[in-house]
């Protein structure tokens, strides 16, 4: 299974420039309005790119130069619409049956997607979450070669969300096709997808496997979406693998060779240590924020200017109470955890 997408489409704020090539299920991550949904619609045939190619498993779905533009129904792609697009005059069961390639599989799908109690109800008689589950079941019933999911769990309550996510994850893995999931939740992406593709103002970045994306993102956009809260500009120094961060007035050693086009450094809030090590920073507490299971502490290095940036650290409540009882807090971050970003 393989999907190749190389398309351009002029939009209001920017030109969508999607370059995706994958043999596994991926997540498409980006800010609102970055072009995620438009990319899915172009792949599905709902929207037409201005130029480029889309190839699924060796079949050309779109090629601007060759004049190929298959209609959606011939692309063998399942698309989860944001409004679910259920037939209002059909029951839940009938909505699934109308798309089913194997009619004897409908009962199993109804059970898998927790639709037993509403199988004979119409779309306007069920909740948004139930409509979404029905739409997902209908997609799976059609036996597509690829599935496009635009934030599939956004309208589901937390308990059913977890159960449905496990079902969808198992289905994606077992049906043998590709999937692209648009989500703002990095944890959903990590659990369900083999790779992650960042899209920023319509331009896609290189796909990274999920572990690489979380452990060593290469760009500021990828780092932010992966959850990195501390990102600063840095300057190169004469010393090998040592950078200077002006806004913190500190020097940092890194294990990573400094790439030519890197100009930012990322420091994850939960990577800081308090028991000694390299890259020591002596700080004062500026603010303490109590979270549900942890405590966030905003710190200011003591040798900084008045208007300097802060450092966010996050630790368990017991350790946080111990730290903030001191006038000064010493924090450390290992060179391997200093992220150099483009």
Question: What is the tally of structural domains in the chain?
Answer: 2
Clarify whether residues 129 and 174 are in a common domain: yes
Q: Shortest CA distance to 5 belongs to which of 44, 46, 43?
A: 43
Does a structural domain hold residue 222? Answer: no
Number of alpha carbons in the 13 Å side-chain half-sphere of residue 43: 32
Q: 3-state DSSP helix/strand/coil percent for the chain, to nearest 5?
A: 30, 30, 40
Same domain (yes/no): 50, 130 = yes
We report the CATH number of the domain holding residue 82 as 3.40.50.300
Judge if 174 and 125 occupy the same domain: yes
Of 190, 217, 244, at which residue does a domain stop? 217
pLDDT in tens, 293-318: 999 999 999 988 767 799 999 999 99
Q: Are residues 69 and 129 in the same domain?
A: yes
Could you give the percent of the chain with pLDDT greater than 90? 72
Asked if residue 203 and residue 94 are part of one domain, the reply reads yes
Residue 210 covered by a domain: yes
Same domain, 195 and 246: no
Domain identity same for 286 and 163 = no
Question: Is the same domain home to 146 and 248?
Answer: no
**Domain stop point among 184, 217, 250:** 217
- For residue 94, being part of any structural domain is answered with yes
* The predicted structure's pLDDT at residue 10: 96
pLDDT digits 0-9 by tens, 200-227: 899 999 999 998 898 889 999 899 989 9
- Residues 6 or more apart whose CB falls under 8 angstroms from that of 170 comprise none
pTM over 0.75: yes
d(C-alpha 142, C-alpha 133), whole Å: 15
Task: Give the pLDDT band (50/70/90) at residue 155.
Answer: low
Q: Is 121 part of a structural domain of the chain?
A: yes
Q: Where are the beta strands (DSSP E) in 274-341?
A: 281-290, 295-301, 311-315, 328-331, 339-341
254-284 per-position pLDDT tens digit? 998 899 899 999 999 999 999 999 999 999 9
Average pLDDT over residues 138-148: 93
Is pLDDT at 82 greater than 80 in this prediction?
no
Contacts of 329 (CB under 8 A, 6+ apart): 274, 282, 283, 284, 285, 297, 299, 323
Range of the domain at 258: 228-341
């Amino acid at each position: 299974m393989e999907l190749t997408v190389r398309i351009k489409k002029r939009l209001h704020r920017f030109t969508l420039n999607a370059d995706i090539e994958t043999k596994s299920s991926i997540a498409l991550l980006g800010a609102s309005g970055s072009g995620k949904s438009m990319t899915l619609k172009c792949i599905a045939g709902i929207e037409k790119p201005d130029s480029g190619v889309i190839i699924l498993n060796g079949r050309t779905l779109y090629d601007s130069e060759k004049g190929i533009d298959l209609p959606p129904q011939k692309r063998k792609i399942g698309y989860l619409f944001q409004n679910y697009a259920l037939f209002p005059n059909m029951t839940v069961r009938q909505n699934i049956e109308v798309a089913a390639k194997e009619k004897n599989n409908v009962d199993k799908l109804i059970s898998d997607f927790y639709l037993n109690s509403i199988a004979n109800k119409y779309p306007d008689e069920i909740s948004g979450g139930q409509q979404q589950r029905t739409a997902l079941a209908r997609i799976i019933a059609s036996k597509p070669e690829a599935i496009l999911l635009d934030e599939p769990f956004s309208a589901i309550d937390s308990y059913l969300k977890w159960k449905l996510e496990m079902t969808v994850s198992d289905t994606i893995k077992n049906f043998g096709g590709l999937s692209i999931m648009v989500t703002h939740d990095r944890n959903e992406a990590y659990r369900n997808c083999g790779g992650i593709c960042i899209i920023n103002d319509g331009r896609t970045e290189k796909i990274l496997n999920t572990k690489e994306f979380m452990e060593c993102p290469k760009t500021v956009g990828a780092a932010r979406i992966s959850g990195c809260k501390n990102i600063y500009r840095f300057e190169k120094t004469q010393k090998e693998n040592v950078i200077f961060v002006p806004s913190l007035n500190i020097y940092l050693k890194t294990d990573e060779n400094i790439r030519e086009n890197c100009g930012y450094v990322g420091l994850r809030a939960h990577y800081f240590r308090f028991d000694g090590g390299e890259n020591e920073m002596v700080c004062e507490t500026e603010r303490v924020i109590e979270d549900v299971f942890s405590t966030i502490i905003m710190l200011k290095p003591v040798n900084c200017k008045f208007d300097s940036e802060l450092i966010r650290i996050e630790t368990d409540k017991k350790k946080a109470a111990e730290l903030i009882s001191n006038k000064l807090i010493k924090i450390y971050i290992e060179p391997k955890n200093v992220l150099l970003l483009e």
